[in-house]
A and B are shown apart, each in its own frame.
Chain A
Amino acid sequence: MDGVRLHVVTGKGGVGKTTVASALALALSRQGKRVLLAEVEGRQGISQTFDVPPLGIEEVRLVTHAGGGEVWGISVDAKAALLEYLHMFYKLGRAGGALERMGVIDFATTVAPGVRDVLLIGKVYEAVSRTTGTRRHQGPRTWDAVVLDAPPTGRITRFLNVNVQVADLAKVGPIHSQAESITRMLRDRQSVVHVVTLLEEMPVQETIDAIGELSDAGFGLGTVVVNQVREPLVDEVLLETAAEEPERVAARVRDDLAAVGVRAAAKTVSGLLGEAHDHAERVELERSLTDEVASQGLPTLTLPVLASGIEDGGIAVLADELLGQGVR
Chain B
Amino acid sequence: MTARPGSTARSSRAAQAARTAPDDIGIDALLADPDTGIIVCCGAGGVGKTTTAAALGVRAAEAGRRVVVLTIDPARRLAQSLGLTELDNTPRQVTDIGAKAGGSLHAMMLDMKRTFDEVVEAHSTPEKAAQILANPFYQSVSSSFAGTQEYMAMEKLGQLRAQAEREGTWDLIVVDTPPSRSALDFLDAPKRLGSFLDGRFIRLLTAPARAGGRAYLKVFSVGATITAATVSKVLGGQLLADVQTFVAALDTMFGGFRERADVTYALLKEPATAFVVVAAPERDALREAAYFVDRLKSEGMPLAGVVVNRMQTLSAPALSGSRAAAAAEQLEDRGEDETDDDLAGLTPALLRLHADLAAVATRHDGHVRRFVAGHPGVPLSTVPASATDIHDLEGLRTVGAALAAG
Contact = CB atoms under 8 A, between A and B. Distances in A.
A13 B181 contact: no
A281 to B, nearest CB: 5
Contact of A102 (B80, B223, B287): B223
B182 A169 contact: no
Interface string B308-346: 000000111111000100010011001000000011011
A136 interface: no
A111 B334 contact: no
A289 to B, nearest CB: 10
B239 A170 contact: yes
A270 B3 CA distance: 13
Interface string B270-301: 00000000001011110100000000000000
B330 A170 contact: no
Interface stretch (B101-109, B250-258, B347-355): B347-355
A307 B192 contact: no
Contacts of B233: 90, 173-174
A308 B363 contact: yes
A12 B238 contact: no
Contacts of B179: 13, 152, 154
Given A104-B201, A278-B2, A260 B331 contact: yes
A110 interface: yes
A171 B46 contact: no
Contacts, number: 252
Contacts of A311: 283
A153 to B, nearest CB: 8
A155 B287 CA distance: 23
Given A201-B389, A272-B315, A253 B346 contact: yes
A256 B223 CA distance: 84
A95 interface: yes
Contact of B230 (A92, A172, A272, A276): A92
Nearest to A166: B140
A278 B327 contact: no
Interface in B354-390: 354, 356-357, 359-360, 363, 387-389
A41 B182 contact: yes
Contact of A15 (B46, B226, B357): B46
A249 B343 contact: yes
Chain B interface secondary structure, helix, strand, loop or mixed? helix
Contacts of A14: 44-47, 280, 285
A297 to B, nearest CB: 22
A202 interface: yes
Interface in A223-255: 233-235, 237-238, 241-242, 248-249, 252-253
A111 B342 contact: no
Interface string B205-232: 0000000000000000001101100110
Interface string A163-202: 0010011111111100000000000000000000000111
Contact of A309 (B147, B350, B363, B389): B363
A268 B318 contact: yes
Contacts of A233: 349, 352-353, 356
B74 interface: yes
Contacts of B236: 170-173, 175-176
- Give 4 nearest A-B pairs by CB, closest first: A14-B46, A13-B45, A271-B316, A173-B236
Given A173-B235, A256-B348, A282-B387, 10 more contacts: A13-B44, A14-B46, A14-B47, A99-B227, A103-B202, A173-B234, A175-B236, A265-B318, A272-B316, A282-B2
19 contacts: A13-B46, A13-B179, A41-B182, A99-B231, A104-B230, A110-B192, A113-B140, A152-B179, A171-B239, A203-B46, A206-B75, A233-B353, A233-B356, A267-B318, A268-B318, A271-B315, A271-B318, A274-B4, A275-B316
